[in-house]
């Protein structure tokens, strides 16, 4: 991540804590708490479910894969197990449904032998003296969102010397970059709890960061990069108190530096049971970057060899690297990373989000994309408040409809690149919506992130109830995103009718509430009569599929969409 400008942090650092994630009461209050024991499951593993209380009605449990009902059984206990089909890389939706059709609760299930196929990235950012129950509660939050990769942000002692102490004598307590206390028992507890939930734990560190005492710790000045050819002015990211030090940049292509950092990380792995390394960078540094001998350095040229050095040293460990503003992604994409990670900066409108995802698809040869896209950014810098639900959901829906995922959830929702910043909170409605959205992207992962070819989708409303346009979105209209599979076509409807603007970051938290449509009659051209049409939305019926009546005449398919607020997905089976 890029660190926030120090002057802004100084204004807000007294506000930043770890407990500012209140859930306010309201219409989104979660009466029915439906949970599973893991974020993802290996093929052959049974899923354990728990419901907090019995509904006041006879209910059944329904298990769906995409639009197909696999099985149904009475709800006979508050705790039970289900054996999913043995197929690998499949998503399922499970619903508690009353005899009258009322949906009490749903949950998504991911069965995947490897998390790389459908990465859902979350984070942790504070490691104070926490009790076991506090640790379990935080991991349970991640688990309810089906997070399968957890970034441990701002956990280390120094960038160039991440482990406090030595592998033989590690410290029990140390201070991070902004001088907060970190406890070894807390990090150990987080890792152990996350592993029980099937999550991968990645430690954060820069590829090339060194603090001002690095020379004393064995880092050579000759490894650094400079802003002049005479190595007088080191390249640095300036930080002032309460930060320990500014961050000085080292050449990631320097083999001595690579060996030095490998040795440092080997000690980390000896003490902590991390699954891998989340590599960070600071983005493009300009044309005036030189090594000690005065040669120009393009830092991105060193990313692939740096990644390879880390992977060669610990081949069983996972690697992910941040492409800040896509800088260096062409080198990162074909390296040994699990998925492609982009921190999004300096973009206006929603189309850059889809462009990044499709560019990554092309460069990565099938590797999936996670975007760190910080919502309500300027509002989050200013101080305490709440996220704008409408902006968050429109951006979340857009990224996932295009097959990406969004790094946004941890102890709190992200608003700036300084992950411990919890100035903004989710209100009750947004909190409940995010559970539905993450259930949705998990349950329908095969439609969202598992192949297919992007196509234009022309949808019309013959009764003139609303207007549709092909992506990118415009205010006052519903944007369509289409994908074609061998046996089906998927069309996403992203509703900007009522949106105030088309700036995904929603800097001032003022995005408008899209108009709610019910029972919209729609038409689209199809070369042959489909065998089935169903729709599903995280905003309606808790994500369960609904099969409307359809008609087909002279190449025109007509059916009714029961509900559209932010995002509805249409599936047309050929």
Inside any domain, residue 477: yes
Residue 385 CA, chain-centre distance (Å), reads 22
Give the chain's length.
Answer: 574
**What integer pLDDT is reported at residue 465 of this predicted model?**
85
**Helices 303-313 and 255-271 meet at what angle, rounded to 10?**
40
Inside any domain, residue 471: yes
Three-state DSSP class for residue 62: strand
Query: How many structural domains compose the chain?
Result: 2
Other CB atoms within 10 A of residue 402 CB: 25
**What integer pLDDT is reported at residue 10 of this predicted model?**
34
First to last CA, the chain: 44
CA 23 → CA 128, 147, 309, 394, 544, distances in Å?
22, 20, 44, 21, 25
CA distance 215 to 97: 64
Residues 6+ away with beta carbon under 8 Å from 146 = 39, 40, 108, 110, 120, 438, 439, 442
- Which secondary structure element, helix H or strand E, spans residue 448, and what is its range? helix 445-448
Q: How many CA atoms lie within 13 A of 40 on its CB side?
A: 29
- Which secondary structure element, helix H or strand E, spans residue 103, and what is its range? strand 103-111
Last residue of a domain, one of 96, 111, 126: 111
Last residue of a domain, one of 68, 96, 111: 111
The CATH number for 485's domain is 2.60.40.1180
Tell me the per-residue pLDDT of 232-245, one tens digit each, with 9 for 90 and over. Answer: 999 999 999 999 99
CA distance 566 to 479: 10
**What integer pLDDT is reported at residue 31 of this predicted model?**
85
**Helices 389-401 and 428-443 meet at what angle, rounded to 10?**
10
Domain that holds residue 107: 41-111
**What integer pLDDT is reported at residue 502 of this predicted model?**
97
Residue 27 reports pLDDT greater than 60: no
CA distance 267 to 478: 53
How does residue 488 score in pLDDT terms, banded at 50, 70 and 90? Answer: very high
Inside any domain, residue 463: yes
Characterize the bridge pairing of strands 369-372 and 149-152: unpaired
Inside any domain, residue 100: yes
Q: Lay out the sheet containing 556-564: strands in order across.
A: 517-525, 556-564, 550-553
CA distance 183 to 419: 18
Inside any domain, residue 206: no
Instruction: Give the phi and the psi of residue 361 in degrees, each rounded to 5.
Output: -55, -45
Which whole number is the average pLDDT over 519-532?
95
Among residues 353, 348, 345, 302, the alpha carbon closest in space to that of 324 is found at: 345
Inside any domain, residue 135: no
Mean pLDDT of the chain: 94
**What integer pLDDT is reported at residue 29 of this predicted model?**
56
CA distance 382 to 233: 33
DSSP annotation of 99 reads T
Task: Using the structure block, give the residue that is written with the tokens 């800088």.
Answer: 327
How does residue 1 score in pLDDT terms, banded at 50, 70 and 90? Answer: low
Above pLDDT 90, what percent of the chain? 93
Q: Where are the beta strands (DSSP E) in 192-264?
A: 200-206, 209-210, 236-237, 247-249
DSSP annotation of 380 reads H
Inside any domain, residue 64: yes
The CATH number for 67's domain is 2.60.40.10
CA 261 → CA 118, 150, 167, 200, 221, distances in Å?
30, 22, 14, 22, 15
CA distance 223 to 395: 41
Identify the bridge partners of residue 226 per DSSP, sorted by sequence position: 234, 290
How does residue 2 score in pLDDT terms, banded at 50, 70 and 90? Answer: very low
Tell me the per-residue pLDDT of 131-160, one tens digit each, with 9 for 90 and over. Answer: 999 999 999 999 999 999 999 999 999 999
Query: Alpha-carbon torsion 197, 36, 446, 563, what sign?
Result: negative
CA distance 102 to 56: 11
Identify the bridge partners of residue 176 per DSSP, sorted by sequence position: none
The string over 501-521, giving b where at least 16 C-beta atoms fall within 10 Å of a residue's C-beta and e elsewhere, is: bbbbbbbbbebbebeebeebe
Task: Using the structure block, give the residue that is written with the tokens 């001595």.
Answer: 256
Residue 406 CA, chain-centre distance (Å), reads 3
Secondary structure of 114-170 as H, E, C letters: CHHHCCCEEEECCCCCCCHHHHHHHHHHHHHCCCCEEEECCCCCCCCCCCCECCCCE
**What integer pLDDT is reported at residue 252 of this predicted model?**
98
CA distance 494 to 480: 6
Tell me the per-residue pLDDT of 397-414, one tens digit each, with 9 for 90 and over. Answer: 999 999 999 999 999 999
**What integer pLDDT is reported at residue 17 of this predicted model?**
39
Last residue of a domain, one of 65, 85, 111: 111
Among residues 407, 422, 567, the alpha carbon closest in space to that of 496 is found at: 567
The DSSP line for 460-507 is: B-TT-S--EEESSP-TTSEEEEEEE-SSEEEEEEEE-TT-S---TT-T
Other CB atoms within 10 A of residue 549 CB: 8
CA distance 184 to 190: 10
Contact 257, 223 (CB under 8 A): yes
**What integer pLDDT is reported at residue 249 of this predicted model?**
98
The DSSP line for 283-312 is: ----S--B-TTS-B--GGGGHHHHHHHHHH
- Which secondary structure element, helix H or strand E, spans residue 518, and what is its range? strand 517-525
CA 22 → CA 25, 121, 277, 425, 443, distances in Å?
10, 22, 31, 7, 27
Instruction: Give the phi and the psi of residue 329 in degrees, each rounded to 5.
Output: -60, -30
Task: Using the structure block, give the residue that is written with the tokens 């439609």.
Answer: 447
Inside any domain, residue 553: yes
């Amino acid at each position: 991540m890029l660190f926030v400008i120090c002057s802004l942090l100084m204004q807000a650092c007294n506000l930043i804590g770890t407990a500012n994630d209140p859930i306010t009461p309201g219409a989104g209050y979660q009466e029915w708490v439906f949970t599973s024991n893991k974020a993802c499951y290996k093929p052959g593993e049974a899923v354990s479910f728990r419901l907090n209380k019995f509904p006041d009605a006879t209910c059944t449990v329904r298990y769906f894969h995409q639009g197909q009902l696999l099985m149904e059984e009475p709800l006979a206990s508050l705790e039970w197990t289900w054996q999913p089909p043995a197929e690998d890389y499949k998503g399922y939706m499970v619903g508690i449904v009353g005899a009258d059709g009322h949906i009490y609760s749903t949950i998504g299930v991911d069965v995947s032998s490897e998390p790389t196929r459908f990465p859902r990235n979350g984070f942790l950012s504070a490691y104070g003296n926490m009790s076991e129950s506090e640790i379990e509660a935080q991991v349970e939050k991640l688990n309810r969102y089906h997070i399968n990769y957890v970034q441990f942000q701002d956990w280390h002692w120094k960038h160039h010397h991440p482990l406090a102490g030595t592998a033989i004598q590690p410290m029990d307590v140390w201070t991070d970059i902004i001088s907060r206390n970190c406890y070894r028992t807390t990090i150990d507890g987080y890792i152990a709890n996350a592993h029980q939930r099937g999550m991968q734990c990645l430690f954060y560190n820069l590829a090339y960061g060194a603090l001002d005492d690095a020379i004393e710790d064995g880092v050579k000045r000759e490894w650094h990069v400079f802003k002049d050819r005479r190595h007088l002015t080191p390249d640095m990211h300036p930080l002032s108190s309460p930060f320990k030090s500014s961050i000085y940049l080292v050449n990631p292509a320097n083999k001595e530096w690579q060996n030095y950092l490998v040795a440092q990380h080997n000690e980390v792995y000896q003490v902590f049971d991390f699954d891998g390394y989340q590599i960070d960078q600071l983005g493009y540094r300009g044309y005036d970057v030189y090594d000690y001998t005065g040669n120009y350095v393009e830092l991105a040229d060193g990313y692939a060899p740096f990644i390879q050095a880390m992977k060669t040293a610990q081949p069983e460990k996972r690697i992910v690297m941040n492409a800040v503003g896509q800088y260096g992604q062409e080198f990162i994409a074909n390296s040994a990373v699990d998925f492609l990670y982009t921190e999004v900066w300096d973009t206006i409108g929603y189309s850059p989000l889809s462009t990044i995802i499709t560019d990554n698809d092309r460069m990565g040869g099938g590797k999936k994309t996670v975007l760190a896209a910080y919502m309500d950014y300027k509002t989050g810098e200013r101080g305490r408040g709440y996220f704008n639900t409408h902006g968050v959901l429109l951006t979340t829906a857009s990224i996932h409809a295009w097959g990406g995922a969004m790094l946004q959830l941890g102890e709190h929702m992200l608003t700036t690149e300084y992950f411990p910043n919890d100035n903004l909170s989710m209100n009750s409605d947004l909190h409940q919506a995010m559970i539905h959205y993450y259930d949705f992207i998990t349950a329908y992962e095969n439609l969202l992130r598992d192949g297919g070819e992007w196509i234009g989708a022309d949808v019309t409303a013959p009764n003139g109830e609303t207007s549709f346009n092909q992506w990118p979105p415009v205010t006052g209209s519903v944007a369509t995103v289409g994908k074609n599979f061998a046996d089906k076509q998927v069309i996403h409807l992203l509703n900007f009718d009522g949106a105030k603007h088309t700036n995904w970051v929603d800097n001032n938290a003022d995005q408008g509430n899209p108009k709610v449509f019910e029972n919209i009659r729609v038409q689209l051209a199809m070369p042959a009569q489909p065998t089935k049409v169903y729709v599903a939305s995280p905003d309606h019926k808790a994500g369960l599929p609904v099969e409307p009546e359809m008609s087909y005449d002279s190449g025109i398919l007509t059916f009714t969409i029961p509900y559209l607020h932010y995002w509805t997905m249409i599936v047309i089976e050929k």
